[in-house]
Structure formats: C-alpha cells, structure tokens
C-alpha cells in the first residue's frame, strides 16, 4: 500500500516538472509571434498621416470643425489670391528678355537700316523694354525731347501693367485673417450661449467651443502668410524689372542721340 502511494506521488511530481518546460516554451512562442506581428505592422507615416488619419482627411475634418460658413470664404481668398499671384509671376517671367542682346540688335539695326529697321526689331520683341524702345523710335522724327517724354510716360504705363492685380492680392492678405477673427468671435459667442443655456460652466463645453472658434483664426493666418510670401516675391520681380526699364530708357536716349549726330 505504501509503495503504491509513493509511486503515485512520484508520477504526479514527474508530470508537473514535465509541464513546466512546455509552458515556458509556449510563452516563448507567443512572445516571438507578437514581436513578428509588431515588426510586420505598418508604421504611421508622420508626413502623410496625423494620428493614423490621412493628412487630407485631417484637413477635411478640421475644415468642417471650423465651420463651413466661415472656412469657405477664407479658402476662397487663398485660392483666388494664389491664382492672381501665379498669373503675375507667369506674366513677369515671360516678359523678361536678354536686355543686352536686344539693345545690341536694336542698335545694329538702327545703324544698318535706319529708324524703320530698329522699329521692326522692337516690334517683333516681347516685353516692356522692347515696348519702350518701339515708342521711342516711333517718335524719333519729332525730336529727342519728345522721345524722352514718351519714354518716361510709357515707362509709367509699363510699370502699371506689371503691378496690375497686386491690389487684389493685398486685399486677400488683409481679408483672410479678418474673416478668421470674425469666425472666432462668432464661435466664442456661440460657446457662451451654450454655457448660458446649460446653466453651468463645463470644461468640455468651453474647450470644444474655443477649439472650433480658433480654427477659423488659424486658417485665416495661414492663408495670409502664404499670400504674403507670393506678394513679396512678385514685388521683388517688379523692382528688378523697373530698374531694368530705367536703365534701358537711358540707353535708348543715348543711342538715338548718337544716331542723330551722324
């Protein structure tokens, strides 16, 4: 009887020790599978996703949270302002020419074929510099004084053409944050109305209302900053073109004066 009891106890002890390595092995396999699953899981791209949400979806969500009634005018200001800015940049870029090469061709045509040949060269060349040269050559027979006045007057005209549309960009720069601030004020008023209706100050209620209200201000400031960068870049292009026009005007008068003395 005693031997039977001892045998049963020994068998049970052996089974317990046999199960412990199996449990440890099972835990190691599960841990290895979890590690493989973590490595295989796709990482969140911080540039294209925000907290697991695609960037365009996050922008759409913030747009809706800010209120379509106030966010839409700000977006329209940005779109129209960018359209005008891009048009101005393309206009100024396409109107630029190799001024030194053109002046050399104009002078060579003037010396070889006379004033008509010079006018033809200026007529067939694009840009404000060529336009001023054409206007000056067109009035050459009226005297150099008339040429100088024509060049100065037409230079002002060309300057106005280059600055055309900038007033609209300036308007949208001022209008975007103004609309944003207005949306913020309206949102704050609505938040306080909700507090008054609830009869108590709730942190969740106040925070949510303020967050929605401030989104319009953020959108307006972002729009104004983007348009301001384009505006300053266009002004820099215009300043360079104006300096080139003034220098070319002086050169034109000198060329015509030297031609008249022949």
Same domain, 170 and 63: yes
- Tell me how crowded residue 136 is: count the other CB atoms within 10 A of its CB: 26
Extract the tokens encoding 169: 């960009």
Helix (H) or strand (E) holding 61: helix 55-66
The pLDDT value recorded for residue 18 is: 43
Measured over the CA atoms of residue 148, residue 149, residue 151 and residue 155, the dihedral's sign is positive
Which residues constitute the domain of residue 35? 1-41
Same domain, 202 and 141: yes
The pLDDT value recorded for residue 63 is: 59
* Contacts (Cβ under 8 Å, ≥6 apart) of 200: none
Whether 46 is in a domain gets the answer: no
Same domain, 70 and 132: yes
CB 91 within 8 A of CB 203: no
Same domain, 67 and 24: no
Same domain, 121 and 5: no
Residue with tokens 């779109």: 79
Same domain, 3 and 115: no
For 16-70, write each residue's pLDDT tens digit: 344 444 444 445 544 545 544 444 444 444 444 555 567 566 666 665 666 677 7
Same domain, 5 and 119: no
Same domain, 27 and 57: no
The domain tally of the chain equals 2
Low-confidence ranges of the chain (pLDDT < 50): 1-26, 29-30, 32, 35-48
């Amino acid at each position: 009887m005693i031997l039977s009891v001892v045998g049963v106890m020994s068998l049970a002890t052996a089974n317990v020790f046999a199960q412990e390595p199996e449990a440890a092995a099972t835990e190691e396999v599960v841990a290895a599978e979890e590690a493989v699953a973590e490595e295989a899981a796709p990482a969140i791209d911080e540039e294209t996703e925000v907290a697991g949400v695609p960037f365009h979806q996050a922008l759409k969500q913030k747009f809706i949270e800010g209120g379509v009634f106030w966010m839409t005018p700000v977006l329209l200001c940005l779109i129209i302002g960018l359209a005008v800015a891009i048009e101005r940049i393309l206009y100024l870029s396409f109107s630029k020419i190799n001024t030194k090469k053109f002046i050399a061709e104009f002078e060579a045509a003037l010396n070889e074929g006379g004033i008509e040949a010079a006018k033809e060269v200026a007529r067939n060349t694009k840009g404000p510099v060529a336009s001023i040269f054409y206007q000056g050559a067109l009035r050459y027979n009226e005297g150099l004084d008339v040429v100088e006045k024509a060049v100065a007057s037409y230079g002002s005209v060309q300057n106005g053409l280059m600055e055309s549309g900038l007033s609209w960009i300036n308007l949208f720069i001022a209008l975007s944050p103004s609309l944003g601030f207005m949306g913020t004020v309206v949102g704050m008023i609505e938040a306080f109305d909700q507090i008054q209706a609830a009869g108590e100050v709730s942190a969740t209620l106040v925070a949510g209302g303020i967050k929605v209200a401030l989104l319009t201000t953020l959108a307006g400031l972002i729009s104004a900053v983007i348009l301001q960068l384009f505006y300053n870049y266009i002004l820099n292009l215009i300043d360079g073109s104006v300096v080139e026009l003034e220098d070319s005007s002086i050169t034109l008068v000198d060329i015509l004066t030297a031609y008249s003395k022949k």
